[in-house]
Structure 1
Amino acid sequence: MNKKLIGVDLGGTTIKFAILTDQGEIQQKWSLRTNILDEGSHIVPDIIESINHHIDLYKMDRSQFIGIGMGTPGTVNREEGTVIGAYNLNWKTLQPVKEQIEKGTGLKFALDNDANCAGLGERWKGAGHEGDDVVFITLGTGVGGGIIANGKLVHGVNGAGGEVGHIIVEPNGYECTCGNHGCLEQYASATGIVHLAQDAAEEYEGNSRLKAMIDNGDEITAKIVFDLAKENDFLANEVVKKVTYYLGLACANISNTLNPETVVIGGGVSAAGEFLLKRVQQNFQKFAFPTVRTSTQLKLAQLGNDAGVIGAASLALDFIADEK
């Protein structure tokens, strides 16, 4: 019988759901707004209610499902199925997510960090092409990552494996939310790029549309910086040079340590496409160990917003199969 999986990608504004085949093909998709009121106490009941509603809506039977996998922000204990410290969900205290969802749906449940899940998705059905050694870097509001080595996610001793956003690329550089200085997140995230642009505009005295916009108090985004760089705005190009320098350096350092088949770059900032990738590759070539230079490939992510639900569903396959 063709077994099904449910993938859930829990974010601060939206919860994305999908029903997939056990081969990772999405059959149905839907989403909900994340209700973070009352210390996030509505989130898990909303997830349970939505899953149950859609199983009934599609006239499916629970026996058809292998289980549910979910990606979430915060610190995850995979064995216990708990989350703590997901501040954008208002989850400050320990959340017994697995226990509640298994009880509420009658289905097996597996849980991991959201960036790890996106990495698993890209590895399974996207740019990673089912490779055993794949690194995923997501450039969004922050910088997250997922590392797959020998076919398994790297979690480390306390779940902090794959925190590529906190690789130091500029010693004593910008202060990071983690308390350190000079983390990649402060230079290659959407917010980091805007910070770089504002600082560069302060020091620059030539003609530039980017400078004019910043001096005028207009709202600047990473997309605007890249779009202006593509139009040969001098200041925007200088900012992009810095961003891609730091990103290329980080990709080389990760690859010099792990020598993955592929480093996949995703997240909102990666929408800059080949324009971004080419410049990152130039810096990667500069810093990579010779063997790594010729064997590790840098690629853009392919799955967009579906990476999270696809990777989460694969958790259910792997984690629940391991339990048997």
Structure 2
Amino acid sequence: MNAYAVIDIGGTAIKYGCATEEGRFLEKASCPTQAREGGIPEKVIAIVQDMASRHALVGVAIDTAGIVRPGEDGEIVFAGEATFPGYSGTKLGRLVREAVHLPVLVENDVNAAALGEAWLGAARGASSAFMITVGTNLGGCFVQQGRVWHGASFSAGEIGYLRLHNEKRILEDVASTRAMIREAAFSHNMSPSEITGEMVFDWAREGDEEAMASIEELACNLGEGLAAVCCLLNPEVIVLGGGVMAQHEILGPLLEKRLEQLVMPAMRAKTRLAFAALGNDAGMLGALCALLEQEKNK
């Protein structure tokens, strides 16, 4: 049984584990990223070395925030300085590979999550899938025949930056959890810092019409982005991920209705909506999937 170190680097935490080539976890843990202090490669190397003391590792699969040039060198092409100071330009894959002497693959976190869902999750068996993650920001990725469409500058699928109706705002300004919270806070004469997305949905279930209006606004705007995906890519499945998508019993019907309004039936007929199934494991499993493909093609 082959064992792989799988590592997810986020702004707050580094989640990691040891998994088999079938995607079964042997162990999982996490530690603070502390990205402002730097030293992410050193943290990753320490995690792998510690794991190697317990398991006979044959590879390292990493997913991370930022625009990534995927592959063994795993260069972080761009990462926001406010969250990851000094991270841009880091050849994370090369640094880890030279330290632990194992095959390494590095992939963007949303791309990896989409691959994970295509491999073992909500898009399993689909020939093409677009995944959108809805949180404070919006991320996206298109997977076809089990491979990520990276684009010329490794930033394909960044649906959050889509502009609609010649607005100065981008899609994530009006279709993110942050946007929903902002609208709900305004209508309740509260500060956005006092509200969580879960609170907004709880209010709506209790009959709060203003809270429901903010959810409907989110679905309306997000639906426009999904309609663009349907028209441009015609995927077999659109996978909806991110914390807010746990509220699928409310959001599902709203998004289905919006797509019916915006996309002609002939284009919509073969595209289904699905909600992400792998949770926080999606990125790690997707990075593992990419590593397995990389090694198979050598």
* Alignment TM class, shorter chain as reference: over 0.9
Deviation larger for 161-170 or 298-307: 161-170
Distance in 1 (CA, whole Å) between partners of 2:159 and 2:111 is: 11
Whether the 8 Å contact between 1:145 and 1:162 is mirrored in structure 2 is yes
The answer as to 2:182 corresponding to 1:182 is no
- In the alignment, which of 67, 72, 80 is matched to residue 64 of structure 2? 72
Change (3 A) 1:37 1:235: closer
Q: Is the 8 A contact 2:116 2:285 kept in 1?
A: yes
Matched, 1:250 2:225: yes
Residue of structure 1 equivalent to 2:20? 21
Does the C-alpha gap of structure 1 residues 54 and 185 become closer, same or farther in structure 2, counting only changes over 3 Å?
same
C-alpha displacement of 1:288: 1.6
Hey, what's the Cα distance between the residues in 1 that align with 2:135 and 2:190?
25
1:13–1:215 distance in 2 versus 1, CA, 3 Å: closer
Q: Which residue of 2 aligns with 1:265?
A: 240
Deviations 1:268-315 (A, max 9, x none): 111212211111111011112312322110011111111111111112
Q: Residue 228 of structure 1: CA displacement?
A: 1.2
Runs (5+) with no aligned partner, structure 2: none
Summarize the alignment of residues 125-164 of structure 1 with structure 2, pairs less than 5 Å apart: 125-164=120-159
Shift of 1:191: 1.3
Aligned-residue offset at 1:222:
2.0
Q: Which letter maps to 1:6?
A: A
* Matched residue, 2:293: 318
Larger Rg: 1
Once the two structures are superposed, residues 161-186 of structure 1 have per-residue CA deviations (whole angstroms, 9 ceiling, x without a partner) of 010112223532xxxxxxxx232211
RMSD between aligned residues? 1.8
Pairing partner for 2:281 from 306, 312, 317: 306
> Residue deviations 1:130-162, cap 9 Å, x none?
322011110111111111023321111111101
- Shift >3 Å, 4+ stretches: 215-218
For 1:121, the equivalent position in structure 2 comes to 116
Q: 1:108 aligns with which of 103, 124, 143?
A: 103
Q: How many residues align?
A: 295
Q: Single out whichever of 76-85 and 299-308 deviates more from structure 2.
A: 76-85
TM-score normalized with structure 2 length: 0.92
Deviation of the 1:198 alpha carbon? 4.0
Shift of 1:252: 1.7
User: Structure 2: which amino acid aligns with 1:81?
Assistant: G
Distance in 1, matches of 2:258 and 2:88, equals 42
Give a deviation string over 1:33-65, Cα, whole Å, max 9, x none: 113244x1x211111111111221x2x224xx2
Q: CA 1:255–1:216 in 2, change beyond 3 Å: closer, same or farther?
A: closer
Q: Deviations 1:221-273 (Å, cap 9, x if unpaired)?
A: 22222221222211111111111111122112101211111101010111212
Given that residues 135 and 148 in structure 1 are in contact (C-alpha distance below 8 angstroms), is that contact kept between their aligned partners in structure 2?
A: yes
1:208 is aligned to none
SS at match of 1:90: coil
Match of 2:184 in 1: 197
Checking the alignment, whether the CA contact within 8 Å between 1:189 and 1:269 is kept in structure 2 is no
Distance 2:237 2:4 in 1: 26
Q: Give the partner amino acid of 1:196.
A: E
Residues 1:183 and 1:54: Cα distance change in structure 2 (over 3 Å) = same
Amino acid at match of 2:67: T
Percent same amino acid among aligned pairs? 30
Deviation at 1:84, TM superposition (A): 3.8
The 2-side partners of 1:44 and 1:119 are apart by: 24
